[in-house]
């Protein structure tokens, strides 16, 4: 049975997250890291050397501001108007641009293309990849990179995983996360049109702690196009 997304419910959940992370937004310096552990794992080099980048589900804006300060034309999209207001106030001077939108709607309607699109525990984790990945392919420039990270799937628990807003009491506010094995992710990426796809789980710095799934995929430098001029 397919997941039944409720955008209003999801927006409320992410508005709550924005309120809970407001201090982090305003008190932290820009930093770019893929994992949940400080000083652990790769950095923005996974994106190559993009002139332009889009972060989907940009959250606190720390990573996007880091790219913007390095001279990258940096755009972020997030579902929460509360978060977008906070990060625009905090990081707007970095040169980063923030858009409040649902990611599938934004990718379907924008005409902009990017050298890199990425997600750090963001929209690539919370959006149906069968819908998301083909849209990302169309928005990447030739040779462009998609990279994303999130926790690995719990063994035996694959596909959409429901997540209630904390507490298990009160009105049912929820979202879905999409979890797969690295091999399954690679298959999904290639079927969506990526020429290269590499997905792995990076071990945590401490034994038996939760690792980080990291994916990197590249579109071809030449491609066919559909009737609208989009990559296929």
Number of C-beta neighbours around residue 173 at 10 A: 19
Q: Cα separation of 76 and 82, whole Å?
A: 14
Q: For the chain, what percent of residues have pLDDT higher than 70?
A: 95
Task: Provide the 8-state DSSP code for 71.
Answer: T
- Give the residue among 111, 54, 108, 57 at the shortest CA–CA distance from 84: 57
Flag whether pLDDT at 232 surpasses 50: no
Flag whether pLDDT at 172 surpasses 90: no
Q: Cα separation of 40 and 27, whole Å?
A: 21
pLDDT in tens, 16-67: 899 999 999 999 999 999 999 999 999 999 999 999 999 999 999 999 999 9
What was the pLDDT predicted at 226? 45
What was the pLDDT predicted at 118? 98
User: Does residue 41 belong to any structural domain of this protein?
Assistant: no
Flag whether pLDDT at 98 surpasses 80: yes
Flag whether pLDDT at 183 surpasses 90: yes
Mean pLDDT, all residues of the chain: 92
User: Does residue 76 belong to any structural domain of this protein?
Assistant: yes
User: Does residue 225 belong to any structural domain of this protein?
Assistant: no
User: Does residue 44 belong to any structural domain of this protein?
Assistant: no
**Number of independent structural domains in the chain:** 1
Give the domain range for residue 179: 7-31+50-218
- Structure pTM? 0.92
At 103, which CATH number?
3.40.50.150
Flag whether pLDDT at 182 surpasses 70: yes
User: Does residue 119 belong to any structural domain of this protein?
Assistant: yes
Among 76-85, 142-151, 223-232, name the one with the lowest average pLDDT: 223-232
Flag whether pLDDT at 225 surpasses 50: no
What was the pLDDT predicted at 203? 97
Q: For the chain, what percent of residues have pLDDT higher than 90?
A: 81
User: Does residue 87 belong to any structural domain of this protein?
Assistant: yes
Q: Return the axis-axis angle of helices 62-69 and 81-91, rounded to nearest 10°.
A: 30
User: Does residue 155 belong to any structural domain of this protein?
Assistant: yes
pLDDT bin (cut points 50, 70, 90) of residue 72 is very high
User: Does residue 226 belong to any structural domain of this protein?
Assistant: no
What was the pLDDT predicted at 21? 93
């Amino acid at each position: 049975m397919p997941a039944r997304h409720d955008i209003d419910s999801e927006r409320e959940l992410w508005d709550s997250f924005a309120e809970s992370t407001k201090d982090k937004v305003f008190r932290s310096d820009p930093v770019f890291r893929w994992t949940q552990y400080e000083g652990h794992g790769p950095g923005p080099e996974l994106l190559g050397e993009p002139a332009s980048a889009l972060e989907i589900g940009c959250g606190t804006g720390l990573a996007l501001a880091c790219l913007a300060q390095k001279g990258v034309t940096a755009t972020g999209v997030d579902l929460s108007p509360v978060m977008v207001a906070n990060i625009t106030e905090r990081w707007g001077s970095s040169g980063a641009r923030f858009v409040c939108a649902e990611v599938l709607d934004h990718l379907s309607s924008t005409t902009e293309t990017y050298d890199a699109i990425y997600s750090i525990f963001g929209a690539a984790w919370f959006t149906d990849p069968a819908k998301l990945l083909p849209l990302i392919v169309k928005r990447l420039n030739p040779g462009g990179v998609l990279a994303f990270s999130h926790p690995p799937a719990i063994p035996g628990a694959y596909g959409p995983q429901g997540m209630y807003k904390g507490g298990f009491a009160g009105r049912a506010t929820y979202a879905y996360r999409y979890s797969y094995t690295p091999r399954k992710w690679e298959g999904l990426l290639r079927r969506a049109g990526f020429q290269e796809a590499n997905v792995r789980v990076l071990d945590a710095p401490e034994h038996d702690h939760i690792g980080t799934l990291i994916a990197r995929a590249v579109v071809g430098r030449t491609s066919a196009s559909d009737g609208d001029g989009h990559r296929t």
